[in-house]
Amino acid sequence: MAGRHNAILPGNSKSRSPLMIFFLAFLPISFIFYISFSFHSRTTSIAIRSLRNPSSEVDYSFLSSLEKLLAKSQRSPDVGDDSVVDTNVARDVRILDDSVWKKETQRLYEEPFYPASSPIKVYVYEMPKKFTYDLLWLFQNTYKETGNLTSNGSPVHRLIEQHSIDYWLWADLIAPESERLLKNVLRVHKQEDADLFYIPFFTTISFFLLEKQQCKALYREALKWVMDQPAWKRSEGRDHILPVHHPWSFKSVRKFLKNAIWLLPDMDSTGNWYKPRQVYLEKDLILPYVPNVDLCDSNCLFENGPKRSTLLFFRGRLKRNAGGKIRAKLVSELSRAQGVVIEEGTIGLAGKAASQSGMRKSLFCLSPAGDTPSSARLFDSIVSGCIPVIISDELELPFEGILDYRKIALFMPSSDAVQPGWLLSFLRNVSTLQIKEMQMNLAKFSRHFLYSHPAQPLGPEDLVWRMMAGKLVNIKLHTRRSQRTVKESRSLCTCDCRRPNSTNASLSP
C-alpha cells in the first residue's frame, strides 16, 4: 500500500497543486466572511431579541395590540372632542396664526441654539368616536368572520391589517409619554405648539366594513369636520397628515384634501387610483405594508440557509389589473422552469403558511407590480430573508431617503424580465458572495418594516418621523406663501417643472 501511495502521489501533485493553491488563498477570505456573518448574525439577533423580549411587552400583532388598547380605553375617562362649534372661525384662525408666530419668533430669537434635531411636535386631533374608537370596535367585533372576503377572494380583515399603518402611528402618538420609546416625535396638546397635525380617521376600516353609502356619508362628515378646523384653514391642510394607505380608501372625497400629507403605499403613476397632482414625493410619504408572514431573524436565516433549494419563488394572485398585467407574462415565461415555484394564492391563514414556508426555502422571491406598482409581497420577502426580485418600473419605495434598497433587492426592467430565459439566466449568475451579503443585509433591514407597540427605534414609525423632519421647512414655506399671495396671481406656481401628464406637481393651493 505504501508503494502504491508513493506511486500515485507524484502524478497528482502537478494536477492538484493549482487547486491546493486556490484553496489556501480562499481559506482566509472564507474565514473573514464567516466571522463577519457570525458577528452580524449575533448583533442582529440580539437587536431582534431585545425588540421581541416578552418582558418588554412589545406587540407586533395588530390584533393583540388593538385588544389591549380597546380594553384600556374602556377604563379611561372620555377624551376631549375638538369639534368646532364656534361660528367665528375667521377669528379663531387669526388667533391661532398669531400664537404660532409668537412661538416661532421665540424659537428664532430667544432660543438661538435651538437644536436642529429637536423632536417633531405633533398635535393629534380628538375626533368624535365614530371616526376612531367606534371603527376599531367594529373591526374587533367582526374580524373572526372568515367568510368576509373581497371579490377576488382575499380576507377583508387581513387586508385591513396589511394597511393598518393609521393604527400603529396613532397608537404610539396617544400613548403616555412615559411608555413611549421614540424621541424624535412629541405629542403636544396646544395647536400653536404643533409642527404637524395628525388626523386619526381609520379610512381603510370604514371602506371595507361599512355599507357603501354609509361609508361615503361618514367620509363626507370626516371631511367637513377636518376642514372646519382653524388649523386646517390656516394652512389649507399643508401641515396635516392623512393616512390613506389603501388605494381605495377615502377616494370619494380626497380631492378636497390634496394639500395634506398623504401616507400611501405608492405613488401609482398609472393614474388608476390617484388623480394627477394629488400625490407626489415632495408632499407625501410612502409607508410599507404590514408583513403577512412572521419574521425570519438571523438565527432563522442561519438554520434555513442550507434549505433554500428553490431559486425563485412567487405565491399570490397571478392575474392583476393595470400595471399588474406583467404577472401573466412572467407566469407564462417562468412556469415549469427548473428551480422555480409559481403558485396562485391569497392572504388567508393557509396562504400565510404556504407563503412563509415557500419564502424560507428560496433564495429569491419575485415581487412584480400588482394592481398598483407596489405589492405587500415585497415586505413579506424582506422579513423572510428571501432576496426580492423587483419587477415594477413605476415603484416608489418607503423611506428611500434613509434606506438603500440596492443592498437587499434586485431591480429588473420589465422589458428585460419577460424576455425568454433572461431572468433565470441573470439569477443563476448572481455570485454566492453577493447572495450572502444581501442576506446579511436583509437580517439588519427587517427591523425597519416591523410595526409594533410601543414603536421601536429604527422601526417604521420611527422612520416616518425622520422622513417628515425633512419636509418641515418646505411645508412652512408653502403655507406662508399661500397666506400672502393673491389667489388669482400666477405667482402661486412653484419652481417645480411641470411635465405633461406628470403627477409630480407643485404644492399650489
> Is 60 exceeded by the pLDDT of residue 54?
no
> Is 70 exceeded by the pLDDT of residue 494?
no
Tens-digit pLDDT profile for residues 380-414 = 999 999 999 999 888 899 999 999 999 999 999 98
> Is 90 exceeded by the pLDDT of residue 64?
yes
The pLDDT mean for the chain works out to 83
Is 54 a domain residue? Answer: no
Three cell numbers written together for 221: 362628515
Whole-number CA gyration radius for the chain: 26
How far is the CA of 125 from the CAs of 68, 80, 222, 229, 413, in angstroms?
21, 9, 12, 10, 43
User: Do residues 390 and 379 lie in contact, with contact meaning Cβ atoms separated by under 8 Å?
Assistant: no
438 or 347: which leads in pLDDT: 438
For residue 143, which of 132, 135, 152 has the smallest C-alpha distance?
135
Distance, in Å, from the CA atom of 249 to the CA atom of 243, rounded to the nearest integer, reads 9
| Residues 264 and 169 placed together within one structural domain of the fold | yes
For residue 137, which of 74, 60, 221 has the smallest C-alpha distance?
74
Is 457 a domain residue? Answer: no
Above pLDDT 70, what percent of the chain?
A: 80
Q: List CB contacts of 125: < 8 A, sequence separation 6 or more.
A: 82, 197, 198, 199, 200, 226, 229
Is 42 a domain residue? Answer: no
The residue among 428, 449, 470 that closes a domain is: 449
φ/ψ region of 93 (left if φ > 0, alpha if ψ in -120 to 50, else beta) reads alpha
Sheet holding 340-344, edge to edge: 340-344, 310-316, 362-368, 387-391, 410-411
DSSP string for residues in 464-497: HHHHHHTTHHHHHHHHHHHHHS-TT-GGGS-SS-
Average pLDDT over residues 101-107: 85
Three cell numbers written together for 282: 415632495
| Residues 150 and 250 placed together within one structural domain of the fold | yes
Average pLDDT over residues 444-453: 96
Provide the domain limits for residue 198: 62-74+83-286
Is 137 a domain residue? Answer: yes
* DSSP 8-state code for residue 56: G
Is 248 a domain residue? Answer: yes
Is 460 a domain residue? Answer: no
Sheet holding 261-264, edge to edge: 185-188, 120-124, 196-198, 240-243, 261-264, 285-286
| Residues 267 and 352 placed together within one structural domain of the fold | no
| Residues 276 and 345 placed together within one structural domain of the fold | no
| Residues 153 and 212 placed together within one structural domain of the fold | yes
| Residues 245 and 310 placed together within one structural domain of the fold | no
Is 196 a domain residue? Answer: yes
The residue among 416, 449, 482 that closes a domain is: 449
Tens-digit pLDDT profile for residues 406-440 = 999 999 998 898 898 999 999 999 999 999 999 99
| Residues 307 and 374 placed together within one structural domain of the fold | yes
What pLDDT is attached to residue 318? 72
| Residues 176 and 250 placed together within one structural domain of the fold | yes
> Is 50 exceeded by the pLDDT of residue 441?
yes
What pLDDT is attached to residue 402? 96
> What beta strand segments (E) does 194-324 contain?
196-198, 240-243, 261-264, 285-286, 310-316
Of 18-27, 211-220, 228-237, the range with the lowest mean pLDDT is 18-27
| Residues 373 and 407 placed together within one structural domain of the fold | yes
- Residues 481/483/484/488 CA torsion (nearest 10 deg): 90
Three cell numbers written together for 252: 370619494
| Residues 272 and 180 placed together within one structural domain of the fold | yes
Instruction: Tally the C-alpha atoms within 13 A of residue 384's C-alpha that lie toward its C-beta.
Output: 30
> Is 60 exceeded by the pLDDT of residue 502?
no
Distance, in Å, from the CA atom of 305 to the CA atom of 450, rounded to the nearest integer, reads 22
The helix-helix angle for 165-174 and 62-75 (nearest 10°) equals 40
Three cell numbers written together for 461: 414609525
> Is 90 exceeded by the pLDDT of residue 24?
no
| Residues 316 and 282 placed together within one structural domain of the fold | no
Is 118 a domain residue? Answer: yes
| Residues 228 and 252 placed together within one structural domain of the fold | yes
> What beta strand segments (E) does 66-206 contain?
120-124, 185-188, 196-198
260 or 375: which leads in pLDDT: 260
Distance, in Å, from the CA atom of 276 to the CA atom of 446, rounded to the nearest integer, reads 33
Average pLDDT over residues 317-346: 77
Tens-digit pLDDT profile for residues 238-277 = 999 999 999 889 989 989 999 999 999 988 766 677 877 8
Q: List CB contacts of 479: < 8 A, sequence separation 6 or more.
A: 234, 235, 236, 238, 239
| Count of domains forming the chain | 2
> Is 90 exceeded by the pLDDT of residue 496?
no
The residue among 405, 422, 449 that closes a domain is: 449
374 or 464: which leads in pLDDT: 464
Sequence-ordered alpha helix ranges (H) in 308-431: 326-334, 349-360, 377-384, 414-417, 422-428
Sign of CA dihedral 15, 16, 20, 22: positive
- Residues 260/263/265/271 CA torsion (nearest 10 deg): -10
